């Protein structure tokens, strides 16, 4: 068996289902899961002694309507429900390569993508009896995007995702690539475990999914986008997404084919940059496709997500939430740049379009 088989087993859902249709899958995945092993979080890193809130902004507490804003929402964005959030500090931009490098320099931290895959762990995320792939397929690697030459059906993500050996945060496109001159770009190829480890070191934490959506709305109510209601492609570029025809032709009207330097586009109402687009951002919560239903009849106060994960598309995989979409998001596919769009990936997954930002309690 080659890794392609394993990869396909791990693929996220078909993307052709119509939002809201009853037969539709619960949610939508834009990144294949590439589970490799569970990681223990090292809690012993030295934290930022200054507890600095530099490059953070205070998000004032309040109440908002969380979830689906319009007919583009996937089933897992329903029902829209009321949530109360306490004030918190949030990074104004995605964690950059320079920030992550400072963490690695201080701690000698090794990211998930820089380690070999542990088959004994990854197989827990797969249907029982899945055969072990060749050892060569378990070498350190991560997922990189490769555009197709021509239009392709959007129901098979393996057409534009490659499991690339040597791809990691230092070499985002694999061996031969680097981040020289990209200190102000968002770090990518970080797993949820890597993001949590960084947060621990920095004396911060990942936002809850509710905090993230509340912050993304920027003080507006029921707005589809971080900037408000204006359609993505109207007016001046507002976020780094995929413009043109996915996944083979990108007009780069927004100026960037892959990721962009953080804070390239206008901030939202709270002063946060790139909540829509650029790179997906890990949240603290487990993903459960029916979680919102459990909150429907009350005002949820600082919800922290479900106790367990469930995605009917991949019932053996335990997934965490990520939010905000990326430079690969396109209306034909997932419109992940919407405020309410939910993504789910196993916490040991990383890719060229996934990063994070951190928050801090008052
Ligand atoms: Ca772009
Ligand atoms: Ca983002």
CA of 278 to the centre of ligand 1 (A): 8
The rounded Å distance from CA 230 to ligand 1 centre is 18
What pTM was estimated for this model as a whole?
Answer: 0.89
**pLDDT for the residue 51:** 67
Ligand 2 centroid – CA 127 distance (Å): 32
The domain spans of the chain are: 19-33+57-108+185-362
Per DSSP, the residues of 72-104 read: T--GGG-S-EEEEE--EEEESSPPBHHHHHHHH
Q: What separation in Å is there between the alpha carbon of 280 and the centre of ligand 2? A: 5
Cα 281 from chain centroid? 4
pLDDT of the residue at 114: 97
How is residue 171 annotated by DSSP? B
Under-70 pLDDT residues of the chain: 1-25, 31-51
Residue entry with tokens 């200054």: 50
Q: Which ligand is nearest to the CA of 326?
A: 2
Q: What is the pLDDT of residue 25?
A: 61
User: How many whole angstroms separate alpha carbon 193 and alpha carbon 257?
Assistant: 27
Token readout for 42 is 């090292």
Distance of CA 356 to the CA centre of its chain: 7
User: In the prediction, which pLDDT does 49 show?
Assistant: 54
Q: Which fold has domain 19-33+57-108+185-362?
A: 3.90.1580
User: Quick one: which ligand is closest to 280's CA?
Assistant: 2
Which ligand sits nearest to residue 355's alpha carbon?
2
Q: Which ligand is nearest to the CA of 274?
A: 2
Taking the alpha carbons at both ends of the chain, their separation in whole angstroms is 51
Question: Which residues lie closer than 8 Å to 106 by C-beta, 6 or more apart?
Answer: 45, 46, 201
- Using one digit for the tens of pLDDT, what is the confidence trace for 338-349? 999 999 999 999
356 CA from centroid of ligand 2 (Å): 7
Distance 260 CA to ligand 2 centre (A): 10
Q: Which residues contact 283 (CB under 8 A, 6 or more apart)?
A: 206, 207, 208, 209, 211, 212, 305, 320, 321, 322, 323
Predicted confidence at residue 36, as pLDDT, reads 54
pLDDT at residue number 46: 53
Task: Give the Å distance between the CA of 33 and the centre of ligand 1.
Answer: 23
Q: What is the pLDDT of residue 343?
A: 97
Ligand at minimal distance from the CA of 145 is 1
Nearest listed ligand to the Cα of residue 240: 1
């Amino acid at each position: 068996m080659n890794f392609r088989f394993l990869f396909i087993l791990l693929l996220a859902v078909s993307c052709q289902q119509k939002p809201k249709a009853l037969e539709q899958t619960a949610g939508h995945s834009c990144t294949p899961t590439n589970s490799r092993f569970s990681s223990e979080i090292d809690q012993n890193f030295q934290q930022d002694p200054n507890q600095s809130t530099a490059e953070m902004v205070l998000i004032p507490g309040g109440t908002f309507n969380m979830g689906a804003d319009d007919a583009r929402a996937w089933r897992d964005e329903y029902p829209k429900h009321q949530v109360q959030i306490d004030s918190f500090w949030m990074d104004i931009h995605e964690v950059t390569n320079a920030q992550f490098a400072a963490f690695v320099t201080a701690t000698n931290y090794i990211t998930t993508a820089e380690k070999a895959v542990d088959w004994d762990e990854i197989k827990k995320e797969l249907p029982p009896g899945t055969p072990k792939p060749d050892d060569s397929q378990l070498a350190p690697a991560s997922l990189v995007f490769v555009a197709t030459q021509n239009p392709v059906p959007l129901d098979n993500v393996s057409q534009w995702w490659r499991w690339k050996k040597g791809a990691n945060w230092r070499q985002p496109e694999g061996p031969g690539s680097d981040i020289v001159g990209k200190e102000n770009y968002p770090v990518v190829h970080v797993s949820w475990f890597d993001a949590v480890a960084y947060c621990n070191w920095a004396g911060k934490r990942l936002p809850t999914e509710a905090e993230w959506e509340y912050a993304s709305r920027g003080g507006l109510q029921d707005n589809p986008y971080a900037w408000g209601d204006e359609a993505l492609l109207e007016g001046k570029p507002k976020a780094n997404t995929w413009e043109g025809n996915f996944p083979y032709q990108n007009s780069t009207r927004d100026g960037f084919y892959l990721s962009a330097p953080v804070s390239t586009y206008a901030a939202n109402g709270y002063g946060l940059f790139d909540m829509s687009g650029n790179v997906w951002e890990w949240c603290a919560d487990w993903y459960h496709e029916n979680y919102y239903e459990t909150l429907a009849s009350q005002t949820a106060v600082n919800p922290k997500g479900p106790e367990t994960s469930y995605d009917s598309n991949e019932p053996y995989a335990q997934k965490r939430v990520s939010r905000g979409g990326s430079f690969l998001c396109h209306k034909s596919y997932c419109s992940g740049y919407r405020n309410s769009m939910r993504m789910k990936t196993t916490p040991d997954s990383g890719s060229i379009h996934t990063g994070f930002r951190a928050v801090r309690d008052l």
